[in-house]
Amino acid sequence: MKLSVDLNADLGEGAGHDAELFALISSANIATGFHAGDPMSIVAAIGAAKDNGVAIGAHPSFADRENFGRKEIAVPVSALVAQLIYQIGAFCALAIAAGVRPNHVKPHGALYNMAVRDSKLADAIALAIRSVDPKLILFAPDNTELARAGEAHGLQVAREIFADRNYRSDGWLVPRTQPNALLRDPGQAAQRVLRMLREGKVRSVDGGDVAVRGETICVHSDTPGAVEFARELRTQLEREGVKISAPKRVSPVARSKRAAR
C-alpha cells in the first residue's frame, strides 16, 4: 500500500525563512496574532501558501507574545473559548477574502501541550473550532485528550507526529528544556518517521517502543537548520515512495462508514 502523509510547519511567526519552507510542506499552521503575527503577516502567509499550493490552518495560542505562547498559564475556559473563536474566526475571514478555504486548526505551544492532557482545555479548543467551522480538521496527537475532544465534538482529527522532536516513554515529547528534546539529523528523522508510518511505533529516549499514529508530520520552523531539515526529510520520504499531501476533509457520514469497516 502506498503511504501518504501531510508535512506541516508553523509559519507566519517571523522566523525569516517561510518562503523556503512553503516550497517543502503541504500544510501551513499560520500564527493568528496572540503569540506572533498580525493581520498583514497572516495575509502574506495565506498568499504564499496559495502560490505554493499549500493548505492553510489557524495556529491559535494563549495571549502570550512575551513568551511566544510557550508558557503554561491559567485561563478561564469561557475566556479561552472566546479568544480561540476570535483568532480562528479572524483567520478564516482573512483566508476567505483571499480566495482560500482554511483546512485545519493546530493549537500552538503551551496551549497544545496542556490540551493533550487536560480535558477541559481540549474541550474548549474543540468547541471553539466547531463554533467557527465544524468542517475544519483538528491536528492532534493520537490517544490524547485533545484528539478525544475533537472526536466528541464531531470534528475530523488528523493525528500528528513530530519529525524533529524526541519522545518520552509515556508517548509525549521530551520538554524543550532538556538537551535531548530535538532530533537534528534529518536522515535519522526520516527513518524514524517511516517506522512510525509503517509500524505505528517510535523509539523513546528511554529505549522502549511507543505506539503512535501519524497522518500529519510537524517540522518546527524556528528550529536551527529547519529548511535543510525539512528538505532532506521530504527528499528521503519521497525516495521511499511516500506521497506528501495535505489531509482532505471527509464528511461525517464517510468517517462513520470508515470507522465501521
Tell me which DSSP letter residue 146 carries: H
pTM: 0.94
241, 200 contact by CB (below 8 A): no
> What CA–CA distance (Å, rounded) separates 35 from 109?
9
| Residues 178-202: tens digit of each pLDDT | 999 998 888 899 999 999 999 999 9
| Residues 221-241: tens digit of each pLDDT | 888 889 999 999 999 999 999
Q: What is the pLDDT of residue 257?
A: 57
The x, y and z cell numbers of residue 172, run together, are 509525549
Q: What is the pLDDT of residue 256?
A: 60
| Residues 35-79: tens digit of each pLDDT | 999 999 999 999 999 999 999 999 999 999 999 999 999 999 999
> What CA–CA distance (Å, rounded) separates 23 from 19?
7
Task: Please give the residue that has the higher pLDDT: either 260 or 172.
Answer: 172
Within the chain, strands assigned E span 4-11, 27-31, 55-59, 104-105, 137-140, 157-162, 201-203, 209-211, 216-218, 243-244
DSSP 90-138: HHHHHHHHTT----EE---HHHHHHHHH-HHHHHHHHHHHHHH-TTSEE
First to last CA, the chain: 17
Domains of the chain from N-terminus onward: 4-260 (3.20.20.370)
CB within 8 Å of 209: residues ≥ 6 apart: 201, 202, 203
Q: What is the pLDDT of residue 21?
A: 97
pLDDT band at 254 (very low <50, low <70, confident <90, very high): low
CB within 8 Å of 135: residues ≥ 6 apart: 156, 249
The burial class, CB within 10 Å (0-12 / 13-18 / 19+), for 105 is: buried
Q: What is the pLDDT of residue 184?
A: 87
106, 59 contact by CB (below 8 A): yes
- Asked if the model's pLDDT at residue 253 lies above 70, the reply is no
254: which strand partners? none
Amino acid at 225: G
